[in-house]
Chains A and B, each alone.
Chain A
Amino acid sequence: MDGTGLIVSSSPHQRAAVSTPVIMSDVILALMPAALAGVWFFGLRALAMMVVCVAAAVGTEAGLEKLMKKPVTIEDYSAAVAGFLLALVLPPDLPLWMGAIGAAFAMAIAKFIFGGLGQNIFNPALIGRAVLLASWPVFMTRWRWPIFQAPWIPDFDAVSSATPLALWKLNGIKTPYLNLFLGNVAGSIGETSALAILVGAAYLLWRGHISWRIPVSFIGTVAVLTALFGQDPVFHVLAGGLLLGAFFMATDYVTSPVTPKGQIVFGVGCGVLTVFIRLYGGYPEGVCYAILIMNAAAALIDRLTVPRKFGEVKKVA
């Protein structure tokens, strides 16, 4: 407790009719375009990865809750969402059992040990990805060019198995915007198509499940900072996992701040870290680590950005 005996939480402080299962099934719906794009570009293997990850996540959660004699909570779909999100940020050719381990780890270590839904500090899907990257870096950085080639896409001769960000960082080759926008590039199953992600994000915004604050401040910071460093901001926004991360991962209720001001701080922090990792880090992409690091700071940000009560006067230091 923070000494005052008060818990910071978002207003209004009444229970709305919108419950966790409703939000979660809407999130699943919103992820469908990205998932379909993944299957379209990377084939049924991508679909198999999604099925395996969701099954492993749901199975692990139910199994652990049964084992520890806790109420089984798989019906709120949050485990399914975590598994689904994890599959979307994995390379299409990753062995399926590795995906399953990632999902199981995400549920058991990142969520269950911390006390289940609402108690976890870090986004489970991203923890799953980070653990897989640390455990099997060779498999996790093996990419594939999409099977499907659209005839209207400009012929891009650097057809390579490297992701656009890696191509840019290591070889200085820039992938055309149209490829990035439609998703005809190498990358994680669900992160390649900016168009599909934006369609899903628009749905979530329209339903009011996420606010604009985190995604806009996150993506805006990346654009402004990359421009300041003399890079192409449009490329940096479209490439890699930024859009998927900003709309679907950074906005996770449990692991991001609840105060409006805090959400802006959170988004800016994610953006700054992403840019620094992309430009100066050892990895080409930094969205996953940026969000995880800011997850750790979320509670702190909340404390520092508690909205002032009406009539409260700023304390003189």
Chain B
Amino acid sequence: MSFRSELTKGLVRENPTFRILLGMCPTMATSLAISNGIGMGIAATFVLVGSNVIVSMLRNVIPSRIRIPCYIVVIASFVTMVDLIMAAFVPKLHEVLGIFIPLIVVNCIILARAEAFASKNGVLYSLADGIGMGLGFTLALTGLSAIRELLGTGTLLAVPDFGFPGFRIFDRSLAAVMVILPPGGFITLGLLIGLLNSLTRRKKKAAQT
């Protein structure tokens, strides 16, 4: 176990979205545009890092019988902070992400990391785990939302709430609306997971022979 491996495992090897399949609800709902994906990813990363560090610090103080309520209080506090800070300083992004900011509380990635990792490991490793998992989530969201934004609206990197129309790749009327609707989200995510699985399987096979 090293700081570096804890940091990088969340990117691909144990990617929370593609590998552990955690936090599917915000993944589906916010991966409509790259800007939303990144915004959601950063907000979740902030909460993840904060809760990981605090839970790890308190791991010897919190009795195991009441650990879940304690974790939830810690997580909920960080989420509320993010919610308030975003509403105050980036109101447009806050509006776009809407209900999904408060719902970070129930994003399973965060509770799962608190329970499975931070409560058993030191502060430094927990910090690395939080950053890595958060970046993995952000990366997955960004990749998924890039595909959905391109196919579903014909643009890339649009940030309409800041008045930036993004780069138009093809005409809006030709864009497949379904891709940014829920079914398109499920299908795109499913195909991405399948692709990643088949790539790793091939890699493993190649390594064996």
Contacts and interface: CB of A to CB of B under 8 A. Distances in A.
On whether A and B touch (CB less than 8 Å), the answer reads yes
B124 interface: no
Contacts of A109: 187
Nearest to A108: B191
Interface size on B, as a range, is 10 to 19
Nearest to A109: B187
Interface stretch (A44-52, A133-141, A176-184): A133-141
A137 B178 CA distance: 9
B173 A135 contact: no
Contacts of B176: 101, 135-136
B179 interface: yes
7 contacts: A131-B178, A134-B177, A134-B178, A134-B183, A134-B184, A136-B176, A137-B177
Contacts of A131: 178
Would you call the interface of chain B mostly helix, strand, loop, or mixed? Answer: helix
Given A101-B176, A134-B183, A135-B178, 11 more contacts: A109-B187, A131-B178, A134-B177, A134-B181, A134-B184, A135-B177, A135-B184, A136-B174, A136-B176, A137-B177, A138-B173
Nearest to B152: A135
Interface size on A, as a range, is under 10
Interface of B: 173-174, 176-179, 181, 183-184, 187
The 5 A-B pairs with the shortest beta carbon distances in the complex, nearest first, are A135-B176, A134-B178, A135-B178, A135-B177, A131-B178
A280 B14 CA distance: 47
A136 B171 CA distance: 12
A131 B178 CA distance: 7
Contacts of B173: 138
A262 to B, nearest CB: 27
Nearest to A97: B174
Interface in A110-144: 131, 134-138
Q: Considering residues A131, A137, A138, which has the most beta carbons from chain B within 10 angstroms of its beta carbon?
A: A131
Contacts of A137: 177
Contacts of B184: 134-135
B153 to A, nearest CB: 12
A175 B179 CA distance: 36
B180 to A, nearest CB: 10
